[in-house]
Amino acid sequence: MRLRFAALVAAAGLALTACGGGSSAADDPNAPIRVGVNPTPHGEILEYVKDNLAEQAGIDIEIVKFDDYNRPNEAVAHGELEANYFQHVPYLEEYRKQRGGDFEWVAPVHLEPLAVYSKQFKSLQEIPNGATVTLSNDPANQFRGLKLLEQGGLIKLKPEAAVGTRLASAIAENPKNIDFKDLSPDQLPRSVDDAAAAVVNGNYAIKANLQNPVVVESPEGNPYANGLVTTPALAKDPRILKLAELLRSQQVKDFINQKWGGVAVIPAA
């Protein structure tokens, strides 16, 4: 269920008050750092850090969970969070271009390979003419999905196609006259029931327990690692740097590999 942004911010404020302080990390170098995450897998990874590594490292982490891809950046931009951990660089760049905001990429943490799922077909080649395929409506992940479908041989993209190119304008060849429908990322897992295939972001695929993907993105040279983002003012804050160090530590890499088997979630290089 989606929470309204204002309510979520209020909840975060109440949590800080309950802990005995309402000042932000920007005002108090000893305050907790509030980090926005998607619940899976980002929240689980950050909870592991909070429960097992943060105290010894001397930092206090407040975890704020979001179910969508827009509000974590809004919260950082408005000073309601010190950082977020849910996105990759192409998404951040497109968000900044479309909505503005002053952000600083800190470090990559993990990769969730994008995948195509189908309950009707075992390969893209089996998809019939005129079938419906769903993919993300956010520009960065939509283009990423189109490239994956091109990799699988379903379509060909125009050489000049890039992030932000309109869906109809990006495709050079669509020999099966596929009907592409773009949906919000959190709606994509449900679309697998009705569409011939759906291109689903890793965190939502994990949450929906989707299995046996038809096509999976290669991790080699992949630019879509999810990482820690903050503001320029906090980019050198010792707590932010320590958190980045913990998120990229061998302990966290081991946790990721043990929990997700080195498939659905992969530690960043």
Tens digits of per-residue pLDDT, 165-210? 999 899 999 999 999 999 999 999 999 999 999 999 998 999 999 9
Q: Are 247 and 45 in contact (CB under 8 A)?
A: yes
Which CATH topology does 5-113+222-267 take? D-Maltodextrin-Binding Protein; domain 2 (3.40.190)
- The pair of three-digit structure tokens given for residue 30, joined into one six-digit string: 């000893």
**Chain-centre distance for alpha carbon 31:** 26
Does domain 115-216 match CATH 3.40.190.10?
yes
Quick one: 211 exposed, middle or buried, by C-beta within 10 A (0-12, 13-18, 19+)?
Answer: exposed
Rounded distance between C-alpha atoms, residue 200 and residue 117, angstroms:
7
> What are the domain boundaries of the chain?
5-113+222-267, 115-216
Q: What percent of the chain has pLDDT over 90?
A: 81
Domains 5-113+222-267 and 115-216 share a fold: yes
Rounded to two decimals, what is the model's pTM? 0.82
Q: What share of the chain is helix, strand, coil (3-state, %, to 5)?
A: 40, 20, 40
